[in-house]
Structure 1
Amino acid sequence: MFTPTMKTVMFDEQYCLGYNFLRSQKPFREDGLEPVTLTTHGTSGIIEEIEKKSTSWDGPISFALFIDYHSHRALEYIADVHRCNKKFQEKVSVQIAFRISPYQMFCQPIQYPKSLRSCEDFIRNQKQYQREIDAPFQLYPFNIMRNLARKGAQSDLHLLMDADMITSDGFATKVKKISNEMITGKKMNALVIRRFETNKKLIPRDNIQLEAAFDNKT
């Protein structure tokens, strides 16, 4: 039986990169504006954070996933998330990167995993399947992963963000309008956002909550 594969390309004679292993299904252009793609990256240990972002970010997401031989189960897992989670499927595109073996002369294609489990089974046992994924045992190429997420984005406007950052409510919609006004074919600008850190589990999601956190010095 034929197994679909994704072509990968070599980069810097050390890595193989694959674009759009999984592709987002929703264009987010109903209002005539170019959407802002949230671009981020990480290993299998950060997939759960990307799942959370698919519920809080109202726009496309490009996630670059770094794997190796030990973490190959991450491909099957994230493919199941994409298949069984509607919001994840609508919003998230996944790019893949892995380091080549010594003396490897070319990049081999990646086989798309064919899951034998139903969505009902996957959702019911998702935590268990998540624990079965081993993290990669290699140095993490930050710059390569950041650029991979950006180049695989499904729009021309990108917000580069670490996976552990949490945006305020409605941020994607607000920054979309502002970015389309600031960045055009004739004007090239960079939009810088503020980042706040907290020691509390409750993350401020609007100005009122943020002001209260400042008052409480949290």
Structure 2
Amino acid sequence: MAGDLDFEKNPTKAAAMIALRMNPDLEVITVNDATGEVTVKEKKSGDTITMSFDDIAQGKFTIKNAKGETVTMDASNAEKQGVVVTGPEGQTVIGGSQSAPPDWVQLYPGATNTGGMRNEKGGSVNGSYAMETTQNNEIVSKYYGDQLKAAGYETNVTATSTADGDMTIINATKDEGKRTQTVMIQTLDGKTHIALSYSLEAAN
């Protein structure tokens, strides 16, 4: 398939093929030059999906599986806004500014964001958000314990010491369990890593 990578004749197609071959979960089945599309198979599920060369090359494309369900991925502004995936399970944002959690999720003041994911569907929202700070575990754990209690959450705290460092896990629930936050705090190599996960069920 050397012709697939001819940048002079069809640079868009070549860029798309390279992007696909970088994904080990996909197997290229057919390439249609007339329509500018490529059909690939997801190795794990066996689903066959068809994508446009132009969309793949631009970091924005639509995938259809064997059930006819459509999933759209937009990575055209990934560095700033994140990668946006929209499909049957709602909209998921990975990385970037749009992956920040809702206002009711407590962020640690001055901490540096190291990654995030946010999914929304029908009024429900869930996701994760990671941060790090130079403050020690004790200070960070006290902050979250106090903030969550003040916000009306019921909390359960588990603290352990490991060879890698101290770890604290705070499980918090509110509104009869429909709103939850879990905070995992661990100090490693002089920095304290904070991993948040949260969920909110849509009102009936």
- Tell me the TM-score normalised to structure 2 length: 0.24
The structure in which a higher percent of residues are strand is: 2
Greater RCO, 1 or 2 (C-alpha within 8 Å, sep 6+): 1
The higher radius of gyration belongs to 2
Q: TM-score, normalised by structure 1?
A: 0.23
Higher share in helix: 1
